[in-house]
Structure formats: structure tokens, C-alpha cells
Amino acid sequence: MRPAIFRLPAGGAHLGWHHKSQMKIWLDGKLVDQSEAKISVFDHGLLYGDGVFEGIRFYSGRVFRLEEHIRRLFDSARAIILKMPWTQEEVCRHTCETVAANGLTDGYIRLVVTRGAGELGLNPYLSPKPSMFIIASTIKLYPDEFYKNGLAIITCATRRPAPGALMPQVKSLNYLNNVMAKVEAIQAGAMEAVMLNEQGYVAECTGDNLFLMKNGTLFTPLISDGALDGITRAVIFEIAGNLGIPVVERSLTRYDIFTADECFLTGTAAEVIPVVELDRRTIGTGKPGPHTLRFLEAFHQLANSTGTPIGSNDTA
Ligand code: PXG
């Protein structure tokens, strides 16, 4: 029997999005009330999607893989010649301060660096000063039942841009490609969509990396096929190493997914989530597989026992 198709309610309530009126936002060096946290309409992040971001999780009072996320943020900034006015250490410290100021122990951090306000025109040199803001909140991408029963996903028509068009490794504010792919998933009654690259190889999903198990080996698309170099993806490589499961990065097609024993997605927001159906075809047994469940468990174990303590950087 095919799993029930999940229809997304309008309004984003399913995301668990909450509106805490006194939330403190870190903005350009200051912790301000949410109502005071404002960006100019002349900010090139808004006008042209000219900026970069990170999504980071914290669990049990510790920020998970903080240094890796901040390193990727700086690489993204470097790739778009955005000069960060803060050091990596400072950004790590401000991230922890923001979480602490909101009295949270478990949640999600959205860190955004925009090109800053400048005159109209694409030229990034028109914006002399980048802006950075840090939001500490919560995120819930999928209801619990999908972690237990698995997701039914689709392949969308929207392709990942070629590296020569929009560098897929850069976590930039240009997410319209992924947003349109997500819309296709929602229209089809699915919660995620597999995105192919221009050659027809699997790149990733709209906000998650994709993994397959086949004959005891773990497979995932190459970064050069258009996958984001996911932090969670790297965690899965580590776990596979610990479990003695061989990992192969190579070009994958839908054939590989249809004929896989198991499939799962990874991402900061999604963590590790099983996939049991692609384009209405059952993958493996149609239930989350044993390896997937082991990765899921090992991920939670790591997430809840490692990371940068929120208080440790607090020198403010
Ligand atoms: N691919 C894409 C395109 C992403 O945006 C991932 C893969 C997974 O990477 P990490 O490093 O997170 O394992 C991402 C990350 C959101 C949200 O708000 C999306 C992501 C991360 C956090 C929040 O939907 N995507």
C-alpha cells in the first residue's frame, strides 16, 4: 500500500514557525528586539539576492558543527567576493551570544550576510558595507510520522543550475531555483523533490542531500553533479566510517534510486529522514531500511552529545 500523500496546509503552520514577540536578533554588532531588526530596501541582498547564509542547529545547549558552518559561510562569501567584516571566531561567538540571549537550548540558527545597502545597480561595489544578522529560533520541516514511515518524494522538472550559471556550492540568497522545485513537490502532494542537473544526473533535493544504500554500500551524488557540500552529508560520511559501511560518491540517476535497497535525505533542518517512494514507485521494502535507521540513531547520538557549548564563547 502506498503511504498517504501529505498535503501541505497553507500558511506555513506545518513548519512550526513561531512568532516570539521579544525575540532578540543580532544585527550588525547589536542584539536588538525583533521589531527593531530591519534591513534597508536598498540592501542588495534583497534587490539582487546578493548575499550568503547558513542554517545551523543547536541541541541540548550545544551548537552542532558550528565551526564547519562558519567556515562554509566564509567560503560562500569569498566565492562571491563579499569581504566579511568579522573573523570566523567573532561570528562563532556572536552566534552563541544570540542563542544565549534568547534563552534557548534547542533550535535553529539562521545566519545571513547581505551585500548591504547601496545605490540601485548590480555592481556589488555600490554597497560599501555588508550587513549580518543572526536569528535564533526553531525549525521543523517534517512531521514526526515521516521520520517513522518515510517520505514519498517526486522528481521535479526544475533543474539544478549548471556550475557555470550559479555555483551550487555557494549557499547564496539566490534560492529561487530551490523554491520553484519545492513548489513542484507541493503541487504534486509531496514534501520534497529530487533535482536533476542539466545532464540528468541526480544532484540533491531542494534543501537536502540524497543518499542510497545498495548491497551494503552507501552512495551519494558528487558535489560536481550539483549537490551542496552539506555539513550533515559530511556527518553521514563519518558515521559510515564508524559503522564500517563503504561510501561511494558518484553520478547517480533515477534508475539508481528506483533500484536502491534504501534511500534517505540529510540536511541541517531535516536531519536524517527516510525516503520510501520516488515518483510513486516503492523503494526497497517501502519501509525505512535498517541502515537508514542506524544512521538516524547515530546522527541523534552525535547531535545530542557533541558541539560548541552555547555559554563557552560568551564574553559579551
Ligand atoms: N542542499 C541544499 C540546497 C541546501 O540548502 C542542504 C543540501 C543540506 O546541507 P546541510 O549543510 O544543512 O547538511 C541544504 C541546506 C531551510 C533550511 O530553511 C535549508 C537547509 C538547511 C537549513 C534550513 O529550509 N538546507
Kind of pairing, strands 131-137 and 107-114?
Answer: antiparallel
Mean pLDDT of the chain: 93
Residue spans of alpha helices (H) in 17-87: 44-48, 66-79
Rounded CA separation 65/67 (Å):
6
Of the pLDDT bands very low, low, confident and very high (cuts 50, 70, 90), residue 89 is: very high
Which of 96, 112, 140 finishes a domain? 140
Of the pLDDT bands very low, low, confident and very high (cuts 50, 70, 90), residue 312 is: low
Rounded CA separation 146/191 (Å):
10
pLDDT digits (tens, 9 = 90+) for 119-142: 999 999 999 999 999 999 988 879
Residue 183 shares a structural domain with residue 256: yes
228, 68 Cβ separation under 8 angstroms: no
Q: At 289, list the grid cell.
A: 531500511
pLDDT digits (tens, 9 = 90+) for 246-288: 999 999 999 999 999 999 999 999 999 999 999 999 999 999 9
Of the pLDDT bands very low, low, confident and very high (cuts 50, 70, 90), residue 21 is: low
Which of 117, 140, 163 finishes a domain? 140
Residue 214 shares a structural domain with residue 73: no
Of the pLDDT bands very low, low, confident and very high (cuts 50, 70, 90), residue 230 is: very high
What angle (nearest 5°) sits at the alpha carbon of residue 295, between those of residues 291 and 296? 115
Which of 107, 125, 140 finishes a domain? 140
CA 122 from centre of chain: 27
Q: Does 316 reside within a domain?
A: no
**pLDDT given at position 316:** 40
The best mutation among 8, 268, 271, 299 to test binding of ligand 1, ranked by most ligand atoms within 8 Å of the C-beta, falls on: 268
Q: Does 9 reside within a domain?
A: no
Which range of residues forms the domain containing residue 91? Answer: 16-140
Residue 217 shares a structural domain with residue 124: no
Rounded CA separation 250/252 (Å):
6
| Residue having the nearest C-alpha atom to atom 2 of ligand 1 | 207
**pLDDT given at position 138:** 87
**For residue 149, pLDDT beyond 60:** yes
Q: At 116, list the grid cell.
A: 548591504
Residue 74 shares a structural domain with residue 170: no
Ramachandran region, residue 279 (left: φ > 0; alpha: ψ -120 to 50; beta: rest):
left
State how many domains the chain has: 2
SS3 content of the chain, % helix, strand, coil (to 5): 30, 25, 45
**pLDDT given at position 184:** 98
**Could you identify the residue written with the cell 496546509?**
9
Distance 267 CA to ligand 1 centre (A): 5
